Amino acid sequence: MSKRVWFVIALALVLALVIAACAPAAAPAPAAAKKKVGLVTDVGGVNDKSFNQSAWEGTQKAAKELGWDAKFIESKQPTDYEKNIDQFATEKYDVVVTVGFLMGDATAVKARQYKDIKFAIVDNAYFPTKDSVACGDKVKDCYADGGLTNVTSLMFQEDEVGFLAGVVAGGMTKTNTVCSVSGMEIPPVVRFVVGYQNGAKYANDKVKTLNTYIPSFIDPAKGKETGQSMIAQGCDVVFGVGGNTGNGGLLAFKEKNLIAIGVDVDQYNTYPEVKDALVTSAQKNVDTAVYNFLKAVADGSVKAGYNTATLKNGGIGLAPYHDWDAKVPAAVKDKVKTATADLISGKLATGYKP
């Protein structure tokens, strides 16, 4: 090959290298959009010292680990439920968590409308029921053939942990009268109350139980007034079952140096104003349930249907005795341990019947 041909080839290679070096770098691939999770509270608000707050804590924890954006919207009244879900849908959220039994219909309606959004609802599950907004009685499974294929219900066996709270109350009372200041008469609250009353009777066959349902979760003044009334009737151990309404009952007992039992979360930490009176709390690990749901969404393993937290799977349980640890008799602690084991094995039943 002639020198001229080699020269042309070499020149072409040099020019190619120069052009390549001067060419603009390829644009980087656009970063994947962050996923967004929104939480809609019930009317108690995100700082209710109870299950709304716990649900938000679980949401924040998961979002931080996953690198997602998280936001909450507080419902001030039931008519806000659907509007708040709509707001998240309009803002293109990927996941929506709704909190509370009362949000059942709104969640079902909007889940059907927004099929691309994954929903979780705390404290409500769907079953075929005639004339139900959520799921009629012509289907076998509300989540499969009933259309709620993008909904996961996070449920809790409140009667089990309520029973254990009752064992503590029945063992600690000096007047043989225990009571509960309760919110609305809805299934999760009823399960707590029935379990509590039967647990107290299991621990103390002489005990008398009192309970009042108050049609609100955001009326601490009424809760406190009800607690004071129960003190007048001889109650010396109260179970506050109903958000801020129940918190009012706890406060009434704290002010009289009597015994209180919290609900949903370890209220020794979330409601320090009454911690001196709190012997324990009947915990629903809502934060863990929401956290696990969001992690399942992230890894693709989430399934429509309902998951129930129980004593057996560790999704519920009594909080530590904290400052009361030395004051709770060993016999009461032993009875709690026995009841726990027997409830898990099926040897003991709470007495709650749906």
Gap between the Cα atoms of 4 and 122, Å rounded: 82
Give the mean model confidence (pLDDT) for residues 47-56: 92
DSSP string of 220-289, one letter each residue = HHHHHHHHHHHHHTT--EEEEESHHHHHHHHHHHHHTT-EEEEEES-HHHH-GGGTTTEEEEEEE-HHHH
Output the pLDDT for position 26: 53
Residue 131 to residues 49, 105, 127, 136, 137, Cα–Cα distance (Å): 35, 12, 12, 6, 8
Higher pLDDT, 29 or 66: 66
Q: Do 103 and 81 touch, CB atoms closer than 8 A?
A: yes
Distance between CA atoms of residues 178 and 282, nearest Å:
15
Choosing among 3.40.50.2300, 3.30.830.10, 3.50.50.60, 3.40.190.10, the CATH entry for 158-283+321-345 is 3.40.50.2300
pLDDT tens-place string over residues 285-336: 999 999 999 999 999 999 999 999 999 999 999 999 999 999 999 999 999 9
Say what the pLDDT of residue 10 is.
46
pLDDT of residue 180: 99
* Contact present, 267 and 278 (Cβ < 8 Å): yes
More confident residue, 226 or 18: 226
Q: What is the pTM of this model?
A: 0.87
Do 169 and 202 meet the contact criterion of CB atoms below 8 Å apart? no
Mode of pairing for the β-strands spanning 95-99 and 36-40: parallel
Distance CA 58, CA 98 (A): 13
In the predicted model, what is the mean pLDDT of the chain? 92
Confidence (pLDDT) at 24: 54
Q: Would you list the domain boundaries of the chain?
A: 36-156, 158-283+321-345
| DSSP alpha helix (H) spans, the chain | 3-22, 51-66, 80-90, 104-113, 158-172, 187-203, 220-232, 243-255, 267-270, 286-299, 330-345
Containing H/E element for 123?
A: none
**Fold agreement between 36-156 and 158-283+321-345:** yes
- pLDDT > 70: what percent of the chain? 91
Question: Quick one: pLDDT band at residue 14, thresholds 50, 70, 90?
Answer: very low
Ramachandran assignment for 12, one of left (phi > 0), alpha (psi -120 to 50 degrees), beta (any other): alpha
Would the pLDDT of 19 be above 60?
no
> Length of the chain in residues, anyone?
354
What is the predicted pLDDT for the residue at 110?
98
How many CB atoms neighbour CB 334 within 10 A? 11
Instruction: Please give the Cα distance from 73 to 69 (Å, whole number).
Output: 14
User: What is the rounded distance in angstroms from the CA atom of residue 139 to the CA atom of residue 72?
Assistant: 33
On whether the CB atoms of residues 207 and 238 are closer than 8 A, the answer is no
Q: Which comes out higher in pLDDT, residue 34 or 317? A: 317
Query: Is pLDDT of 18 > 50?
Result: no
CATH topology of domain 36-156: Rossmann fold (3.40.50)
pLDDT-derived band at 32, boundaries 50, 70, 90: low
Sign of CA pseudo-dihedral 43, 49, 52, 53: positive
180-237: pLDDT as tens digits? 999 999 999 999 999 999 999 999 999 999 999 999 999 999 999 999 999 999 999 9
Q: Is the pLDDT of residue 12 over 50?
A: no
The predicted structure's pLDDT at residue 47: 92
Q: Tens of pLDDT along 241-269? A: 999 999 999 999 999 999 999 999 999 99
User: Is-contact 350 158, C-beta < 8 A?
Assistant: no
pLDDT at 137: 81
Cβ atoms 244, 220 nearer than 8 A: yes
164-185 average pLDDT score = 99
| Whole-number pLDDT of residue 152 | 98
Residue 136 pLDDT level (bands cut at 50, 70, 90): confident
Query: Residue ranges of the alpha helices (H) in 114-242?
Result: 158-172, 187-203, 220-232
